[in-house]
Structure formats: structure tokens, C-alpha cells
Amino acid sequence: MANITKKVSWSSRADESGATGEGTPLLNGSEQPRHSRQIGRLSTVDLEEEITSEEDSLRGRPKEIPHNEKLLSLKFESLDYDNIENQLFLEEERRMSYMGFRCLEISRWVVCGLIGFLTGLIACFIDIAVEELAGFKYQVVKENIEKFTEVGGLSISLILWAVLNSAIVMIGAIIVAFFEPIAAGSGIPQIKCYLNGVKIPRVVRLKTLVVKVCGVICSVVGGLAVGKEGPMIHSGAVVAAGVSQGRSTSLKRDFKIFEYFRRDTEKRDFVSAGAAAGVSAAFGAPVGGVLFSLEEGASFWNQMLTWRIFFASMISTFTLNFFLSIYHNKTGDLSSPGLINFGRFESDSVAYNLYEIPLFIAMGAIGGLLGALFNVLNYWLTIFRIRYVHRPCLQVMEAMLVAAVTATVSFTMIYFSNDCQPLGPEHTEEYPLQLFCADGEYNSMATAFFNTPERSVRSLFHNQPDTYNPLTLGLFTLTYFFLACWTYGLAVSAGVFIPSLLIGAAWGRLFGRLLAAITSSGSIWADPGKYALIGAAAQLGGIVRMTLSLTVIMVEATGNVTYGLPIMLVLMTAKIVGDYFVEGLYDIHIKLQSVPFLHWEAPATSHWLTAREVMSSPVTCLNRIEKVGTIVDTLSNTSTNHNGFPVVVQVTGSDEPAKLCGLILRSQLIVLLKHKVFVELARSRLTQRKLQLKDFRDAYPRFPPIQSIHVSQDERECMMDLTEFMNATPYTVPQETSLPRVFKLFRALGLRHLVVVDDENRVVGLVTRKDLARYHLGKHGLEELQLAQT
Amino acid sequence: MANITKKVSWSSRADESGATGEGTPLLNGSEQPRHSRQIGRLSTVDLEEEITSEEDSLRGRPKEIPHNEKLLSLKFESLDYDNIENQLFLEEERRMSYMGFRCLEISRWVVCGLIGFLTGLIACFIDIAVEELAGFKYQVVKENIEKFTEVGGLSISLILWAVLNSAIVMIGAIIVAFFEPIAAGSGIPQIKCYLNGVKIPRVVRLKTLVVKVCGVICSVVGGLAVGKEGPMIHSGAVVAAGVSQGRSTSLKRDFKIFEYFRRDTEKRDFVSAGAAAGVSAAFGAPVGGVLFSLEEGASFWNQMLTWRIFFASMISTFTLNFFLSIYHNKTGDLSSPGLINFGRFESDSVAYNLYEIPLFIAMGAIGGLLGALFNVLNYWLTIFRIRYVHRPCLQVMEAMLVAAVTATVSFTMIYFSNDCQPLGPEHTEEYPLQLFCADGEYNSMATAFFNTPERSVRSLFHNQPDTYNPLTLGLFTLTYFFLACWTYGLAVSAGVFIPSLLIGAAWGRLFGRLLAAITSSGSIWADPGKYALIGAAAQLGGIVRMTLSLTVIMVEATGNVTYGLPIMLVLMTAKIVGDYFVEGLYDIHIKLQSVPFLHWEAPATSHWLTAREVMSSPVTCLNRIEKVGTIVDTLSNTSTNHNGFPVVVQVTGSDEPAKLCGLILRSQLIVLLKHKVFVELARSRLTQRKLQLKDFRDAYPRFPPIQSIHVSQDERECMMDLTEFMNATPYTVPQETSLPRVFKLFRALGLRHLVVVDDENRVVGLVTRKDLARYHLGKHGLEELQLAQT
């Protein structure tokens, strides 16, 4: 078990020096990577930086886990959802009048409005860019195909298509792989971690947003089996993190507004709102967005926060809707609330009957099975990628290969398909391909493949019952399943929602057609669109394993609540069945990063453990008035690299643990050192101005490393008084507290450090996120136990 | 301020000895009753029982607040959402295998399924009973009216109608006023308090459920301006509390199942599910139900819990739907998911345009204003009722009076209305009254009044644009507004949702008609049904002030998400406008009870306060090994009546505060005394069996009073060892902790007692719910400040 300690970068890209580790076995055939227990035990307080690799090399295991060395993306710090209530903070709060708090509250609403607006605008930009570029691409290819269908030599069309796709995808892959690897994928696992309290480096930066937006346009236009919806959630989160801070560190602009919000507590609230706004814009589902944020992220439910999130979601969908209506020359017609439009489900055509419910449940089970298969395949693929495809150039090449293969497979499928359908007068196909069909007919396989995935989903939901023949549907499901599975995890920005919906819609429609064939008389069974919808829900549920929020998203996207109950049943079934085999796709990817992710509850059977066994100890404590040299040495100690230090009252000449009187963070100490807040200097009263909260906020969130701060030998002899800056009332637990109890306190309050004290209030240990997260897998080997805690 | 200390029973019914206080001034003209600060300060640990009145009489204020004396309904104990992790509990948890936890989880799902099923059945029963009885009544009255329309003497019909209504309402009022006063009203404020952590006596008993169900049938059939939806939420909660405990103390049956769930933590989770199932059955809104439970109740959001709640909601609406489909002879047609059916809103007819949004917002503002007016009037009325109408017989008479007046007003309105409409072939009116209209026509005022409120709402939403003339709508709005306002708070079981919807639908429709009249050309403006819906949302939002959950409920009830955005905007506006004037109706009624209700956050400007100032002290502590006599005396001390006692390590001959080593509850001590768990007896090993968790569970939740336990003089000299039974790791805070920090810990973890310790871990005080709740009004006189915290 010790040997499977490994880390993976979010982007499936290894570090720059990754070459050293090429070809070395990573997982030793173990299917389930685990959080490193040894490392966790060795860390004393809160290991954040190079400890992983350093400790590893100490233990003589570096050759087995070379990817860890100097991998910067591994620095998973924690967010602190607990306010640092030091004297400065309390003084500021006390100075603030009631009107001041009202203004703050109003600015929170303003920020949420802005988040919604900007997220909606970004969604709008992506949508229009994709529409225009994809339209242009399909037009070119279509004309080429039509030209060569008559004269022969369709292979030239194939090459054109494949080259076009590869070229576009190449651009997307290059910007992601070389400039901002964190922008790869849908970004949902990252946002999930962020909301859980794990700080993923660079995840909410402006650069990430730019790369993400350009990347997703390239991936979708490049014809990959991807959607543009997932990345919207990440984009919304970045917008939120940017707007709420009133500045951009990347652009080096500080607008001097919203300074109060420059701390983890506030920022995380806004990021929740941004994620919700993203979902809202992606699916036109404002309520679904709120539920997504809550289901995936929040732990403490606050009514006012929820309303602000809801407000951001509303504004986001409204903005998108409004600008798209202008783009579509139907100003004021608010009929496209999201990026994906499921089309109109009329109440009559979608009516379902009681005896169909078992069928729906069966479809949910199929979705769960297929979803589990998808996840397992993708898991293996990701392992493979980690081992062999970690250089950026390799990643770009893989993405190009996938793009070319996708085009080739699509073309082959279309070429050999003889599913010709009459082209009705009110056909909805944007680019009907005639190919070898008779005049006035079109190739229906081309409708599914030769289209943006969003359009394909819509046509599977709404086209006439006999549009696709069963063979077309079956082949499409099969090929798209593997294409989508291969695509997810590439170094491109792209989401898995739409491919999942598409796969599910295809087999759902197939299911419906088969049913109709079996029960030739049943008129109500005749509508395969209904089964396509249920299939889509089942497949998506089987892959991502959300229930409540996904139900609402689907209902809002279809615009019809009639299907609420069946969709719920299907999603529940898919989740139960899928969870039996493997976790959800996002959780798999989170686990592959060894992220210290805290689930909702401690493992059920963990009452055996107490804080004493869980905590890290001994703890590096600081005295209330401490020598600067000691502080600098403590912070510089790369072998520990602690982030939080209990402050204790001085014990003269005693080796006993000292009494707790506060807690101070590395970031605070850094600011104090930078401003040279030393007792001796304070006495001179000349060089010294009183340090304010503003100084801490200006440094947030990118506090300089200790190495960048110069402390002279004389200064090392000075003293620092921490009283004013430490959090004087940190949360504590006694040593005998059981793990579930510690976990509950830690999780409910979103803590970063929890001090363990004995019955004399002396510090005996410190519990951090890693101490708790370590247990939900490490303790029980059973796969089932894991599922119970998800 | 000290003089306005007053308490009100939930049922608006005073105590049996209430006569002594008749006519005494209660509120001294102050508009805002406050939580009694003095009483709070005097209490040392956790006052629960007669302390209020006792303290009052000590301070010479009994003549001013006579309602407090011996008023049993005032005993607002707290629920303990924190597990008592004593040795017994930990041993049980540690003994339990992983499979054991799985089984528990499965039984939680089973319980939730049962809750949903039973709640659905109850809803179904209420619906059918109301339909049948009201149908019968309207048929009788209609025939009578038709008879006398021709021959003259309609006053006889009026009398018949009024007498019928009064008689039916009398039955409903009698069972409520005499048998179970807690069943009065909608029950939503009570459930809100329960979920907040306040134990309202008798609120989740079987008897309450029976009275509630019968009461609501009588009120609706009796023609009062009430709905049957609100009470469903209460009913669902009672079902949940009953089913989850696997026994009924009222029926003295114990099924010996679900014993693990016999504690506040688990029970409260199930009650959330029950409330959600109730909403779901009432409005056919499973997602809305979940959100209602979360918005009104929960604080710590747990994913698994949410899914279970969702499951209960689904089952509930499905059960109702299924049985109603059988009742309507359309088995398998799942088209009536809730008690109220808004009818079909077709996407075409409900399309709205961008320029209508300002209109919707204006309607939201009107709704907020009217809602605030409604609440203020009802507030004054409630005060009046508390002072003058507190005897059960008076309450019954008032209810009968309201019933008679309602009938009379309705009759008068119908009589003087000359709004005749042609009776089309596909008319939806169940009981069209011709009265003085020409043949083939019917009186449209009668459609609004001579109908169950649910039907009236539907006809206002969907009838042809010219069905009602503006005068009819205006008069209807006016009269129904005052009738509904008068009715809410009567000693009958009834909800305020439907009357609010009805008032709103009426003025909304009026608004739409006026708009159509002004802009004669506009075709889209022509559909007053749309404006009726928006008006209904605005009015309901203005009265109850929910946003997110209400939006979802309305969307699910209309079955169309097109209106999601307008409804959100309207509800937000209504809330903002309404909150400017007065709180929501439920909050007003909660405040009138002086319930120690904890809002989401501590008051913004409360950083001045620290635990030291907030806490109660000195604290009555017990030693780890304590004399039985001391314990009995402590528990018997009626002047303090504490519920939680910090356990400390014995300090020999010292007057210093002792070191904390645990916390034990009154209920636990009672069980220990009852079983005579004394150290001396344990030594004899003969009379003693080891006390188990089961003994505590059997006594839950109605622990006997200390007076019922006989302790002999010899036994008083025995010792009790509390080590095994106390919670050895209670949460603590240092004295300097700011109030918001204390509040956050307390609220997030749902605590009942929070021990305040000094830096040597010695007990210096105890914070309970009342210590915190006291501050959200007492500190700031400003009304605005209150709103910010709601």
C-alpha cells in the first residue's frame, strides 16, 4: 500500500522534469490509488509544499514515484472557511456601523449580479463563436463532400475533414498543454475541490479563464466528442473569484473595491455563486445551478448566501438569453436560456403512464452500468496517460490524433450507412448530407455525427419516430461511447455532459424503437424521443452520479416538469447501480489527484479512532512574544512547512506542553515579517506605522514565500508580539474526541486547523484536513465502504 | 421594555386559568414584543419550565403578564442535534459492524419511503373527504338557491348556507380548541421552530395529527377562506416523527423497531423529510419540498440526508397521484401530483416578453405591500385574540362567527353582482349558479365565491379572458383579503397558502384586464391568466416571504418552467418590499410566541459581545462521582431547572471553578436515578444490571419528571458515577470568543449547551439557545436591523 503513493497533475500532464520518471510503474496494478498514509503520519502540522517528495526520498522510495518530484501542481493547500478573529479583525468589525454592514450586504448582491452578468456574457461569446466557426467548418466540408460524391474521391473529403479538425484541436491543445494545464477538462472536479476547501493552484486565475474559453471553442469546433457546458462552471467560478476581489493579480490592476471580501470565507461564497451561474448559463437552469453548488460544495447552508447564489444564477441565464435573442434576431424572445437547448417537449407527446415506470427504472440501471463501464475505462486510460502521456507535446499529439480519429470514424460511419431519410419541408437539420441517398433524402447517420453535439442531442429528442433506424442508433452509441471515453481527460478544455447525454439519447431512442417494435399496437410507446430523454438522463447520471441537482437541471432544460418523477427515479437507479461498481467520474479524477477531499461524513465505523490518534504531533508552537529568528527558522524549515502555528503562553524552563492562547498562520507571519513588526522597532516609534487588516488583504491570496523576505542578523534578535494578530479563540477539541465528532466540527465549520488540547488546555496536537481525509479510504480496504460515504 | 415580556400559546388559546388575566394590558402599545431579557439573564443554565412565571412573580410583575402563569405550552425546550457521545454510545458504535451501518442506512431509506407513502395517503384522504363533503354542501345550497330564486325568499338560502358553514366549522373548532390547541393554524411556524431546534410540546403527536386532519377538512368544507395545503406540512412532520420512532406513546404501542433512531438527531432528520413530503403532496412539488425543508429548517447540509428527503418527497407525491387517479377513475394517469392543481399552462399562452418584466416587478412590489398590510392586520388581530379571545368556547364562537360572516358576505356579493357570463359547452364550473342571470348564463362572482378555494384559483388562472369583469375581481379581492386575514389565526386547522394565491390571482387578473384595456392592441397582454399567476405568486411571496423554495413550488405546481424567471423576480421583489415594513407572517407568529428562534447568523454588529457577556453563570456543575442527594436536589430545584450540567473533576476544598471533564443532561440523570445506578449498589452486584443505551432510548422523548422518582433517605447518601454516561467531549469555547463565533458554532452544529471555559479549562459559564436568541432583537432597537438578519 505504501508503494502506490502517487500524484497526478490535474491536466494529466506531468511536471517539466517528468522525463526522469518515464516508464516507471506507478500504480503497481492496484486499482484504487489511496491517499498516502505514511506521508500523512509523518507530517506534523500541515504539510503543503515539497514535503511529499522530500519525505519520500527519505524513505528510499523516490524511484517508484518520480512524478512527485518538484511537481508544483501538487501543493494542495486548504482554504480557511473560518474567519481569523484576531484583534485587528474584531476592531474593524466593531468600528463598522450598522449601515456599514448594510452596504457590505448590498455590495455582495452587486458582486453576485456582476458575476451572473459576466458569466452569461462569456457563455454567450462561447456559443456564438462555436456556432459561427462550426457552421463555417461544416459548410466547407459539406461542399467538399458534395463535390466529391459525384466525381468520386471522397477520401480527399475525409482528409480535409480530419486535417481541419486536427488543426483546430491542435490550437486548443497547445494553449492548454503549454500555457495553462489546469484549464484542461471540464473543471468540475477542480471546482468541487475548491468548494470542498482545497486550494487548487491557479484554478481561479484570469489566465485560466482565457485559456479555458479559447480551449473549449477549439475543442467543440474541432469536432471532438465534447460539450461546452462543463467548462462554463469553471468559467463562472473564475469570474466570481476575480470580480469579488476587485482586482486582478495577473493584470496587476487593483480597483480598490471589495477589499473586505479578500479572504477565503468570502471568496468561497462568491465562487459558489459563480459555479451556480455557470450551470445556470450552461443549461438554462438557475435552480439547478443553486442545487449544484450546494450538492457539490457547500456544507453550511445559509439562507442569505443561497439567495445571492440564486440571484447570480438568474442574472446569468437572463443575460445569456437576452444577448442570444439579439444574436438570433429575435430580441426580447427569451427562449434560449442555456447553452444547450433540449427543444420543446410538449406536455401531450411526453405524457407517460404508470406501467412505463419499471421500464424507466430498467433504463436507469442500464445507464448505471454503462456509466460505470465508461468510468472504469476512463480510469484505466487516465492511468495510462499519467504514465506515458505527460509531456505537453505528447498531449497535443494525442489530442490531434483523437480529433483525426473522430473525423475518420464519423466519416466511415456516414459512408457505410445506408439509412436514408426523406428530407421533409420542415426539417431541422442544419447541414443535411445527401451523400449516396436519393434526391430529396439525406443520410441520417450524418445528422448524428455531422453536427455540433448539442444539435445532435436535440435531433435525437425531437425528430420523427422513424428518423433513425435501429442500426444507425446502435452503431452511433457504440462509436460515440468509446470516442467520448477516449476524449475525456485529453489536454483540452471540454465537458462530458453533452457526450453523455448524446450516448444516452442514442441508446434510449434505440430502446424506444425496439419497444415500439415489440408492442406494435401501443401508441404511447411510439415516441422514441421520450425514451431518448430518459436514456440521456440515465447515462449522464451513471457517469457523474449527481441526483437532486441533476434532476432539476434536466427538468429545467426540458422546460417541462411532467418528467420530474421519471428523471428522479432514473437518476437514483443509475446512481445506485453505478455506485455498486465504481465511483462517479469526477470523484475518480479527484481521487487520482490524491486530493484531501472531505466527504460529508466520517466513515461510519470510525468511532474507534479519537483525536489523539488522528492528530499530528508534536506541534510546532510559537510563543506569544517570539524571537524573530525562531519564526524565520520555523517558516524556512522545508522539512515541515507548516501553515498554522498554535500560539502558547511562555513556559519558562519547562518541557511540558504549553497552554494554548491562540493560532497564527504562516501567511500572517510572512506579512508581519515583511512589515518588520518587531517589538524593538515599535519602541522607536519612527519607522513603525500600525499594521492594519488592509496589509493582510493586499497580500492575499499570493503571500510571498519566506525566502523572499530578508531578515538581517540584527533583526533576528528582535522580538515579535503576536497577540494582536493571532486568532485568540481557535476551536479546540479534547484528545478523547472521536473521529466522527472531530470530523463534524471540522467539516461543518470549514476549518483548516483544529487544535487538540488536553484537560489543562495544553496543546498536544493539531488536526488538519489531511489528517481527516486520510481515513476515509485508508482504514477500510472494502470498496463498498467507500460508497457509503460518498 | 421589561414590561412587555409576554407569551402567547400557539393556538391563540390561553391557559385554563387565563380568566385571571382577562383585560389586562399586554403589550402596552409596543408594536414589537421582545424576548424577555431579564429572564434570560437571570437564568443560570438552561431554564425550561416554570421559571418564567416564577421569576416574574419574584420581580413583582405578575399582574402585567398573567398569561405566563402555569402556561404549559411555554416550555420551549431545545432539541439536541449533537450526539451524546458517552461511553455507552461509543461502545455501541464500535460494536457495530460495517454491515450494521449499511442496514441502518437502508432502514433510514425505508423509513423515508414509509413517511412519503403515509403522507401521500393522508393528503389523499383529505382531498377526497373535502371533495365529497364540499360537493354535497354546494349541491344542497345550490338547489336551495335555485328553488328560492324563482319563488323569492333568498334570505332562507342565506341562512341555510350560513348555518351549514357555521355548524361544520364548529366541529372543526371544537376539536381544535378543546382537544389539541396546537393543531390550530397551518402548523408551519411550529415545524419551522422544530427544525430550528426548539421543541414545541405535543407538536408531533398522533393526537395532533388526527385533530389536524379532521380540523382541516371541517375548515375547508365549512367554507372558510383557508387552504388545506399548509396543514399537510405539519401532518407530514407528525407522520415522520411517529414512523421513525417505531412506536406511538399515545397508543402505547412499541413495535421494537427503529430503536436506533430514538434521539433528537435522527428524529429531526426524519421530521425534515416529513415536512418535505407534506409540501410535496400539497403542491405536487417534490423538489420544492426539499428546498422548503432546507430553507426553513436545516443548517448543516448533508448530501445523503438531502437525497432521503427527496426520496420521501417523491414517494409522497407519487402515492397521492396514484390514489387520486384511482379515485378519479383514471388509474395510471399521473396528472394530479398535488392537492392543489394549478391546471395546465400551455407554453404558447404563457409566453412572456422582455418588456413585461418591469410590469412583473411592479406586481411583485404590489404583492409585497399587500402582504405587509395583511401581516400587520393579522398581527394586530392576533394581539387582540391573545387578550380577549383565549377561552376555548370564545374561540369556537369566533370561528363560527367568521364562518357565518364569510357565507353572508359571499352571498351578498353574489346577490348584488350582475356579472353574468354565458355558460359555454366546455365550462369548467362545478356548481354554476344562474341566480338572476338569463338562461344559459351564470353568475361569475359565484364562481369565485361558491367553490372550494382550489377551484377558484384554477378558474382565475384559466378561464376565458372576459370571464370576470373588473368590478367582480376588485370586490372579490377586497372582501377575500379581509376574510382571509380575519380567518388566519382562528382556532381551526387551516393554511394561508391558498387564500393568498386566491387574493393574488384576483388582483393579478384585474391588473391584466386593466392592462389589456389600456393597450387595446396588444395581443400578448390579453391573457389575464398569466397576470393572475404572477399576482398569486406576488401575494403569496408578500405574505410568507419565502423565495427559492416558493419559486420552485410555483414552477412545479404550474408544471411549466417558462415562468421560472418572472416568478423568481416577483418573489424577490415582494420579499424586499415586504421586509421593509414587517416580517413574514410565520415569523410574526413565531415572534409572538417568544420562541428562542435562532436565525442564520448572529446580528452583524454583535462583535462587541463575547462569550463572557453572553453566557449564563455561575453554572451548576456536578462532580464526576456525585452524591445522589445532591443530584436530586439539583434536579428538584424549580427556581433553576437546568437541563445540562457540566461534569467537573473534584476539587477538594477549593472554591475555584473546577476543570471540565464532561457534560450530562437532566434526562440522563433521571434515567440513572430511576434505575438506581449507584456506586454502592453496583458493589453488591445483585440488584444491578448494566445500564444500556436501550434504557435511555425507551425513556425518550418523554422523560419522567424528577418528582415522580422516589429516592429514599438512605439512597440519598449513595454516590453516582457519571463517567460512563456523560458526554466526555463537549464542545467548548474560550471566554473571549465573540458572539458571532459562538453563534456560528452553536448554529452549525445544532447544539443545546456550549460550555465556556477559561484558559485552564475550568468551567466559567454555559451558553444555551436562549442566551444567543436573546440578542438578535434585544441589542438593537432598530426594526431594519431585524430584517437584515432574517
* DSSP line for B453-520: HHHHHHHHHHS-TTSS-HHHHHHHHHHHHHHHHHHTTSSSB-BSHHHHHHHHHHHHHHHHHHHHHHST
Regarding predicted confidence, which is higher, A137 or B334? A137
DSSP state of A177: I
CA distances from A115 to A179, A267, B551 (A): 25, 12, 21
Among B98, B552, B733, beta carbon nearest to A782: B98
Helix orientation angle between A528-544 and A548-558, rounded to the nearest 10 degrees: 150
Contact A443, A414 (CB under 8 A): yes
Interval A494-539: pLDDT, tens: 889 999 999 999 999 999 888 888 876 555 556 788 889 999 999 9
- Please report the pLDDT score of residue B786 as a whole number: 39
Tell me the CA distances in angstroms from B236 to A264, B279, B289, B302, one per residue in order. Answer: 40, 8, 11, 21
Which of A363-372, A718-727, B241-250 is modeled with the greatest confidence? A363-372
Residue in this structure with the C-alpha cell 357555521, named with its chain if needed:
B166
Chain B contact for A547 (CB, 8 A cutoff): yes
3-class secondary-structure state, position A616: strand
If you average pLDDT over residues A3-27, what whole number do you get? 37
Q: Is the Cβ of B576 closer than 8 Å to some Cβ of chain A? A: no
Cβ separation B564–A728 shorter than 8 A:
no
Is the pLDDT at A108 greater than 50? The verdict is yes
**Measuring CA to CA, how many Å separate B67 from each of B73, B100, B392?**
11, 50, 15
Nearest alpha-carbon partner for A186 in A115, A255, A235:
A235
Higher pLDDT, B62 or B440: B440
Query: CA A531 to CA A61: how far, in whole Å?
Result: 53
**pLDDT (mean) for B598-626:** 84
**Residue A108 to chain B, least CA–CA distance (Å):** 13
* Bridge partner list, B647: B622, B662
Helix (H, G, I), strand (E, B) or coil at B585: helix
Residue A480: the pLDDT is 92
Mean pLDDT on B198-208:
87
- Contact yes or no for A604/A789 (Cβ under 8 A): yes
- Span A620-634, pLDDT tens digits: 888 888 889 989 988
- pLDDT given at position A788: 34
| Beta bridge pairs of residue B623 | B648
Q: Which amino acid is at A660?
A: L
Residue A362's pLDDT is what?
A: 94
pLDDT of residue A38: 35
End-to-end CA distance of chain A: 22
On whether any CB of chain B is under 8 Å from the CB of A304, the answer is yes
Measured between beta carbons, the chain A residues lying within 8 angstroms of B604 are 98, 101
Grid look-up 412587555 returns B4
Most confident of the ranges A215-219, A289-293, B439-443, B664-668: A215-219
Q: Does A83 touch chain B (CB under 8 A)?
A: yes
Distance from CA of B600 to the nearest CA of A (A): 6
Q: Which residue of A has its CA nearest to B322?
A: A354
Give how far B519 is from chain A: nearest CA, Å: 19
Between B26 and B341, the higher pLDDT residue: B341
Q: Residue A596, preceding bond cis, omega within 30 degrees?
A: no
Q: Is the pLDDT of residue B170 over 70?
A: yes
Angstroms from A257 CA to nearest CA on chain B: 21
DSSP assignment of A385-452: HHHH--SHHHHHHHHHHHHHHHHHHHHHHHHH---EEE--TT---SS---TTSPTTEEEHHHHHHSS-
Cβ under 8 Å to A: B residues 443-482: none
Residue of A287, A313, A576, A745 to mutate when probing chain B, most B C-beta within 10 A? A287
B11 touches chain A (CB under 8 A): no
Q: Is A85 on the interface with B (CB under 8 A)?
A: yes
Q: What span, in angstroms and rounded, lies between the C-alpha atoms of A48 and A65?
A: 18
CB B125 within 8 A of CB B235: no
- CB A607 to CB B94 under 8 A? yes
pLDDT at A399 over 60: yes
Length of chain A: 790
Helix, strand or coil, per DSSP, at residue B12: coil
Least confident of A468-472, B231-235, B774-778: B774-778
Cell numbers of A58, please?
527519505
pLDDT tens string A334-393: 667 777 777 777 655 556 777 788 999 999 999 999 999 999 999 999 989 988 888 899
State the pLDDT confidence band at B487, using cuts at 50, 70 and 90.
Answer: very high
Query: Mean per-residue pLDDT for A719-732?
Result: 89
Arithmetic mean of pLDDT, A779-790: 38
Whether the Cβ atoms of residue B750 and residue B300 lie closer than 8 Å to each other: yes
Give me the mean pLDDT over the B478-491 stretch: 92
* Nearest residue, CB atoms, A608 vs list B94, B560, B761: B94
Mean pLDDT of B43-53: 36
CA separation for the pair B56, B59 (Å, rounded):
5
Of the listed ranges A41-55, A740-754, B187-201, the least confidently predicted one is A41-55
pLDDT tens for each residue of A654-711: 666 688 889 999 888 988 888 888 877 766 655 556 778 888 888 887 788 888 888 8
- Strand segments, DSSP code E, in A321-360 are none
Residue B654's pLDDT band (boundaries 50, 70, 90)?
A: low
The backbone torsions φ and ψ at residue A119, rounded to the nearest 5 degrees and listed phi first, read -60, -45
Does residue B524 carry a pLDDT above 60?
A: no
User: 10 Å Cβ neighbour count for B173?
Assistant: 31
Residue B564's closest CA among A285, A113, A343?
Answer: A285
How many helices and strands (H and E) does chain A possess? 31, 14
Which residues in chain B have Cβ-Cβ distances shorter than 8 Å to A572? 307, 311
Q: In A, which residues are within 8 Å of B606 by CB distance?
A: none
B331 contact residues in A (CB cutoff 8 A): 354
Q: Could you read off the pLDDT of B285-338 as tens digits, one per residue?
A: 888 899 888 887 766 667 888 889 988 998 898 899 889 888 888 776 666 777
Among B30-39, B668-677, B738-747, the range scoring the smallest mean pLDDT is: B30-39
pLDDT band at B89 (very low <50, low <70, confident <90, very high): confident
pLDDT at residue B501 greater than cutoff 90:
yes
Q: What is the pLDDT of residues B444-474, one digit of tens each?
A: 777 777 778 888 888 888 877 777 788 888 9
Instruction: Say if the Cβ atoms of B311 and A346 lie within 8 Å.
Output: no
pLDDT-based confidence at A333, cuts 50/70/90? low
In which band, very low, low, confident or very high, does the pLDDT at B273 lie, cut at 50, 70 and 90? Answer: very high
A·B CB contacts under 8 A = 218
Chain-centroid distance of CA A497 in Å reads: 13
Report how far residue B732's alpha carbon sits from residue A759's, in angstroms, rounded to the nearest whole number: 12
Q: Does B107 touch chain A (CB under 8 A)?
A: no
Q: Is the pLDDT of residue A646 over 60?
A: yes
> Buried b / exposed e across A578-601, counting CB within 10 Å, b at 16+?
bbebbbbbbbbbbbbbbbbbbbbb
Distance from CA of B608 to the nearest CA of A (A): 6
Let me know: does A627 contact A718? Beta carbons within 8 Å.
yes
- Best mutation site among B729, B743, B744, B776 for testing chain A: the one with the most A CBs within 10 Å? B729
A469-485 per-position pLDDT tens digit: 888 889 889 999 999 99
Give per-residue burial for A743-774: e unless 16+ CB within 10 Å, then b. Answer: bbbbbbbbbbbbbbbbeebbbbbbbbbbbbbb
Q: Which secondary structure element, helix H or strand E, spans residue B441, and what is its range?
A: strand B441-443
Q: Do B301 and A294 touch (CB under 8 A)?
A: yes
Chain A CB contacts of B649 below 8 Å:
759
Separation of alpha carbons A387 and B411, rounded Å: 83
Which of chain A's residues have a Cβ under 8 Å away from the Cβ of B348? none
> What's the rounded mean pLDDT across residues B494-506?
92
Q: B331 and chain A: CB distance < 8 Å anywhere?
A: yes
Is B37 part of the contact surface with chain A (CB cutoff 8 Å)? no
| pLDDT the model gives residue A683 | 64
| DSSP H/E element including A720 | strand A719-721
Q: Which of A81, A295, A306, A551 would best serve as a mutation to test chain B binding (most B beta carbons within 10 A)? A: A306
Q: In terms of Cα–Cα distance, which of B485, B397, B383, B487 is closest to B67?
A: B383
Contact B561 A564 (CB under 8 A): no
Calculated CA dihedral for residues B438, B443, B444, B445, nearest 10 degrees: 150
Interface of A with B in 367-396 (CB under 8 A): none
Alpha-helical runs (H) found in A598-732:
611-614, 628-636, 666-674, 679-684, 693-699, 713-716
Q: Does the beta-carbon distance from B547 to A298 stay under 8 Å?
A: no
Tell me the three cell numbers of residue A623.
510563543
Strands A732-734 and A753-757: parallel
pTM of the model: 0.86
Q: Which of A687, A764, A691, A754 is nearest to A722 (CA)?
A: A691
A328 residue type, one letter: H
CB < 8 Å to A734, chain B: 728-729
Residue A105 contacts B, CB cutoff 8 Å = yes
Nearest-neighbour CA in chain B from A44: distance (Å): 23
Does the distance separating the beta carbons of B331 and A93 come in below 8 Å?
no
